[in-house]
């Protein structure tokens, strides 16, 4: 945990909300696409970047 802690209640409340926003995603299951991607990378077949126009 960061040693730079907020020193008042407003900051504390903001940090709790920041963590909530962050933790919501942190606790999701990681989509399969990433496991597949890592497997591809291990095999040495680098995929196209995801932001190629029209690829989605």
**C-beta of 52: minimal distance to another protein in Å?**
10
**C-beta of 24: minimal distance to another protein in Å?**
8
**C-beta of 45: minimal distance to another protein in Å?**
11
Binding-site ranges for another protein (CB under 8 A): 1-4, 6, 8-28, 30-31, 33-35, 37-38, 41-42, 46-47, 49-51, 56
Q: What span, in angstroms and rounded, lies between the C-alpha atoms of 36 and 42?
A: 10
């Amino acid at each position: 945990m960061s040693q730079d802690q907020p020193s008042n209640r407003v900051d504390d409340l903001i940090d709790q909300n920041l963590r909530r926003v962050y933790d919501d995603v942190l606790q999701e299951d990681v989509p399969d696409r990433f496991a597949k991607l890592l497997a591809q990378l291990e095999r040495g077949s680098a995929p196209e970047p995801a932001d190629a126009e029209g690829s989605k």
